[in-house]
């Protein structure tokens, strides 16, 4: 077909004549009967017709209104209106009962297919092929059954010009008029516009639904605010965090003194990132971490803001996961069979079943933190944070901010936005106050207040915060003796000494426990070495002033210095230990320790706190070692 008329436009008369002649030629080639149409092969069953109507439901609903408008201009007694789908099947036909009866006699009724291969040249079949408005009159139709009629058809085009359906009007050929074609074409264009609107609304609905699903799928709470600071939307996670389902439409001030300033958020967005806040009312204290971002239009008009927030507890868990501070020792990690050690484990298991304060007593290196982790992991709240802090390794002037935190501007050098303390980070979980016997006296007073009231007050804050962190304290210090020398408060001791657990030193646990631990540390390295009889004798007869920590370090050293798969007494380097099969000079371990401490003191210019931190020991232990080895600064 050498016709180049744009889709949907009217062809000139000469082109229309050419289209009709070419269609007649094709109809003859198809073998179409000119006297009467044969539809045996081109008719839908009632079920098939219902299914097709379902697929075209939207366009059928739109055309129903169009037919009513059409019959306001033209009589239903004179004209019928029909809709055929893109395959040529008539899905809808409307008009008076008399004209429908005439139409049925010509097989023009719902369910019949009207393509050129089925009916020859008709307005429907030619419009399906050319996709342009078509008007036929009388003998323009190929089959004589349509002679005496006029029909005008217009295509209904969808996205990218794809044919969706054909709209046709038909009547007595004496009523033919060019305006009929214009009117049916105008109706088709109106349907197309309506369908575009429906499609855009549907796409918008799907897009909005998608956005809603994204918002609901967020792992954090989300609140959208309009420019009047009303809560327009809050997602499911946000409702759970804030423990309320009735916030939408209300001012954001219902959440407390957030002081949301839209203009400031727009001008200085960085100032509104990672803020900490407590939402308080009669029955709750919700600790959140939030950020606010402006919402602006394409024209840079400020429309509102979005608040992204999460519970502070979730931030703690994330930090634990990233930093690797999550406790992993359990009661199964505690190795030993001596009665004293088993008694300590039994007490610790009982302590794990309550939330009472625990006081762990034992020399340095006995495994106090292992016991603390096991107690935490044996508790029902084991999924909550475990926050350790060494009270002896932090200078007194910094310990308060470490424990209780501070607000922005509390002191020179304070971080922007403030900082949460260890108690806040441990809320709902466990805080381990390690080496509490070395805690400065003024901090003991403040800790006592926490134990009495369950409240903490960050430095510079006007309000106190509630904490339900379970406290485990540990120390190598003889606290009753420290009380006698006014180094430790008696009232604090009574508050801490609810469940006291004494962890025995290694020398009191006997040879069996020493051998068990030694073989465990050896096997943990995945090495194939083994101890000589003399080495095991040396291990079990040594006094182990550094306890389990010293034992593990000794075996690690031996693995590095041994010449073969056998670890001898010489490899252990224990002071005063010897056997008939290997002799070592006395004092090796002490000499190494003395040299290490001396070198570290020099490197830190005798900064005791920094030296203790680098060596991994408490300041009290460092002072004791310095005095023992006479390393005092001259």
Structural class in CATH, domain 511-628: mainly alpha
Predicted confidence (pLDDT) per residue in 358-367, tens digit: 999 999 899 9
Class of domain 325-502: alpha beta
Look up the CATH number of domain 219-319: 3.30.450.20
DSSP letter, residue 384: S
The answer to whether domain 13-201 and domain 219-319 are alike in fold is yes
Does the pLDDT of residue 596 top 80, yes or no?
A: no
For residues 410-437, average pLDDT: 82
pLDDT of 91 reads: 94
Confidence class for position 631, pLDDT limits 50, 70, 90: confident
Residue spans per domain, the chain? 13-201, 219-319, 325-502, 511-628
The region of weakest confidence among 313-327, 389-403, 472-486, 567-581 is: 313-327
CA atoms of 5 and 74, how far apart (whole Å) = 29
Q: How confident is the model at residue 322 (pLDDT cuts 50, 70, 90)?
A: very low
Res 580: pLDDT = 40
Least confident piece of the model among 55-64, 359-368, 575-584, 620-629:
575-584
Cα 341 from chain centroid (whole Å) = 44
Spatial separation of the C-alpha atoms in residues 605 and 197, rounded to whole Å: 79
Find, among 183, 173, 103, the residue nearest to 138 by Cα.
Answer: 173
pLDDT (0 to 100) of residue 162: 92
Q: Where are the alpha helices (DSSP H) in 331-395?
A: 339-352, 368-377
β-strand 566-567 against 530-531: which pairing, if any?
parallel
What are the beta bridge partners of residue 135?
152
pLDDT digits (tens, 9 = 90+) for 507-520: 999 999 999 999 98
Phi, psi of 332 (to 5 degrees): -70, -15
Q: pLDDT value at position 377?
A: 92
Q: How many angstroms separate the CA atoms of 579 and 568, rounded?
A: 10
Region 250-267: mean pLDDT is 87
**pTM summary value:** 0.53
Task: Kindly indicate the confidence band of residue 526, based on its pLDDT and cuts at 50, 70 and 90.
Answer: low
The DSSP letter of residue 504 is P
Q: Which residues of 574-608 are buried (b: 16+ CB within 10 A; e: fewer)?
A: beebbbeebebeeebbbeebbeebeebbeebeeee
- Tell me the pLDDT tens digit for each residue of 438-469: 998 889 999 999 999 989 888 888 888 888 89
Q: Which CATH architecture has domain 13-201?
A: 2-Layer Sandwich (3.30)
Please provide the DSSP assignment of 158-182 as one string: -GGG-EEEEEEEEEEGGG--HHHHH
Beta bridge partners of 466: 455
Classify the C-alpha dihedral 94-97-102-105 as positive or negative: positive
In the chain, the percentage of residues whose pLDDT exceeds 90 is 38
């Amino acid at each position: 077909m050498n016709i180049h008329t744009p889709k949907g436009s009217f062809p000139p008369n000469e082109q229309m004549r050419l289209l009709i002649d070419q269609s007649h030629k094709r109809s003859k080639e198809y073998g179409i009967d000119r006297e009467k149409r044969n539809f045996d092969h081109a008719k839908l069953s009632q079920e098939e017709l219902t299914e097709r109507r379902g697929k075209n439901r939207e366009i059928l609903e739109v055309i129903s209104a169009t037919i009513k408008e059409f019959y306001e201009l033209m009589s239903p007694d004179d004209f019928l209106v029909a809709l055929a789908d893109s395959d040529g099947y008539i899905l809808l036909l409307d008009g008076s009962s008399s004209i429908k009866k005439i139409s049925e006699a010509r097989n023009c009724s719902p369910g019949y297919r009207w393509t050129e291969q089925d009916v020859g040249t008709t307005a429907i079949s030619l419009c399906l092929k050319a996709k342009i408005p078509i008007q036929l009159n009388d003998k323009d139709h190929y089959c004589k059954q349509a002679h005496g009629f006029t029909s005008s058809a217009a295509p209904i085009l969808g996205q990218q010009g794809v044919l969706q359906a054909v709209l046709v009007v038909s009547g007595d050929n004496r009523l033919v008029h060019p305006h009929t074609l214009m009117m049916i074409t105008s109706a088709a264009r109106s349907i197309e516009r309506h369908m575009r609107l429906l499609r855009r609304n549907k796409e918008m609905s799907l897009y909005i639904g998608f956005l809603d699903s994204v918002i609901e799928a967020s792992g954090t709470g989300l609140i959208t605010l309009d420019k009047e600071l009303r809560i327009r939307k809050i997602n499911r996670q946000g409702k759970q965090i804030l423990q309320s389902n009735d916030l939408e439409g209300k001012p954001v001030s219902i959440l407390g003194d957030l002081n949301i300033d839209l203009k400031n958020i727009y001008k200085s967005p960085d100032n509104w990132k990672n803020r900490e806040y407590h939402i308080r009312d009669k029955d709750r204290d919700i600790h959140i971490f939030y950020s606010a971002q402006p919402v602006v239009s394409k024209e840079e008009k400020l429309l509102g803001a979005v608040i992204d927030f999460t519970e502070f507890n979730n931030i703690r868990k994330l930090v634990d996961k990233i930093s690797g501070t999550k406790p992993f020792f359990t009661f199964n990690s505690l190795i030993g069979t001596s009665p004293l050690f088993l008694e300590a484990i039994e007490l610790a298991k009982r302590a794990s079943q309550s939330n009472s304060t625990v006081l762990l007593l034992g020399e340095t290196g006995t495994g106090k933190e292992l016991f603390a982790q096991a107690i935490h992991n044996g508790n029902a709240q084991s999924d909550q944070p475990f926050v350790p802090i060494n009270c002896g390794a932090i200078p007194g002037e910094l310990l308060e901010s470490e424990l209780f935190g501070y607000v922005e501007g509390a002191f020179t050098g304070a971080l922007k936005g403030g900082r949460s303390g260890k108690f806040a980070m441990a809320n709902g979980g466990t805080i381990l106050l390690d080496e509490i016997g070395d805690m400065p006296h003024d901090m003991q007073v403040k800790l006592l207040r926490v134990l009495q009231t369950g409240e903490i007050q960050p430095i510079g804050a006007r309000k106190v915060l509630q904490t339900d962190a379970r406290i485990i304290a540990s120390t190598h210090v003889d606290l009753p003796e420290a009380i006698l020398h006014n180094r430790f408060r008696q009232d604090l001791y009574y508050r801490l000494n609810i469940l006291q657990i004494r962890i025995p030193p290694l020398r009191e646990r006997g040879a069996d426990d020493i051998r068990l631990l030694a073989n465990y540390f050896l096997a943990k390295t995945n090495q194939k070495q083994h101890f000589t009889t003399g080495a095991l004798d040396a291990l079990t007869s040594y006094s182990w002033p550094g306890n389990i920590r010293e034992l593990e370090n000794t075996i690690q050293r031996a693995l590095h210095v041994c010449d073969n798969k056998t670890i001898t007494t010489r490899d252990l380097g224990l002071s005063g230990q010897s056997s008939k099969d290997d002799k070592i000079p006395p004092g090796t371990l002490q000499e190494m320790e003395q040299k290490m401490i001396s070198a570290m003191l020099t490197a830190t210019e005798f900064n005791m706190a920094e030296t203790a931190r680098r060596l991994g020991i408490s300041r009290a232990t460092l002072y004791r070692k310095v005095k023992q080895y006479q390393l005092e600064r001259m």
